[in-house]
Amino acid sequence: MKKILALAMAAAMSLSLAACGGGNGAASSKPAASNPPAASSTPSGSTGGGTQGSGFTTVEPGKLHMSTNAEFPPYEMLDDSGNPIGIDVEVAAAIAEKLGLELVVDNMGFDAALLAVQNGQSDIAMAGITVTEDRLAKMDFTDSYATGVQVVIVKEGSDVTMDNLGDYMIGTQLGTTGYIYASDTPENGGYGEDHVIGFETGAVAVQALVSGQVDAVIIDNLPAQEYVKANAANNLTLLEGTWVEEDYAIALQKGNVSLMEAVNGALNELKADGTFQNIVDKYITAG
């Protein structure tokens, strides 16, 4: 219960922060005002001038660096040639285009992707990142662009239920909210560190479930469905119900107001003109 309240508060805070930085009218009018020159001068501006006129600077002139962990389908994953694809990657590319920048995807561990943006090594972090109070203390977030739901994967016929999870071993991806909340103390709604193993990726956590090293995996809903599908031969299933609901947003370095306005403005334009939904539909119906 507490957890859900905290998350709702975190989401409200991120919304109010965003409201300070732009407001509804500003979100669509500001970028539009500064965009035509930037958009039409994209190729010539790529030597560095492109970002100056827009009031923000980026890590590398003419580029928008996105740190991510491409282990989270359908938000980010690698295609057969090792190129990053997914909802976050395409949305970031569309944002970069609006800002007259070229997207560069920096793929790394999930914790590292969050650190990179905090330290100013990347301009944005996009990795299905849940807005939490702790993270709001370390980085800023745009408006939310998706709702994530933490669910529980078990083997078919397993005795694990939502209510007795704490009696079993739970696998999660290290550094994720699944790990953070599940390993918290029982007083805070968790199961304690002894009941949780953090794995490098969600896929490895699911392998541990298949091999019997853990009894359940707590992970975000859409990746969970992908993993269950990908492991059809191993008879995995999702427990009925949701463990916790969350908001995903794009993370930026704390205090980078001008880039925040630009990115948030572009994100809201993509939502308003249907581009965002088209990208989501492409990945969610394609599976």
Binding site for ligand ARG (CB under 6 A): 69, 71-72, 76, 110, 127-130, 148, 173, 176-177, 220
Longest dimension (CA), the chain: 62
* Closer by beta carbon to ligand ARG, 128 or else 265: 128
Q: Which is nearer to ligand ARG, 122 or 173 (CB)?
A: 173
Task: Tell me which residue has its CB nearest to ligand ARG.
Answer: 72
Q: Which among 187, 179, 136 is positioned nearest to 2, based on CA atoms?
A: 187
Q: Are 73 and 223 in contact (CB under 8 A)?
A: yes
Using the minimum distance from each CB to ligand ARG, give the nearer residue, 151 or 262: 151
Report the nearest approach of ligand ARG to the CB of residue 64 (Å): 18
Q: How far is the CB of 43 from ligand ARG (least distance, A)?
A: 31
- Residue 169 to residue 59: CA distance in whole angstroms: 42
Q: How far is the CB of 76 from ligand ARG (least distance, A)?
A: 5
Dist. CA 246–CA 130, nearest whole Å: 6
Q: How far is the CB of 216 from ligand ARG (least distance, A)?
A: 16
Nearer to ligand ARG, 144 or 177 (CB): 177
Rounded least distance, CB 28 to ligand ARG, Å: 28
Smallest gap, in angstroms, from Cβ of residue 235 to ligand ARG?
25
Q: ∠ CA 40-140-226 to the nearest 5 degrees?
A: 85
How far apart are alpha carbons 194 and 249 in whole angstroms? 30
Q: Nearer Cβ to ligand ARG, position 46 or 201? A: 201
CB of 60 to ligand ARG, least distance (A): 22
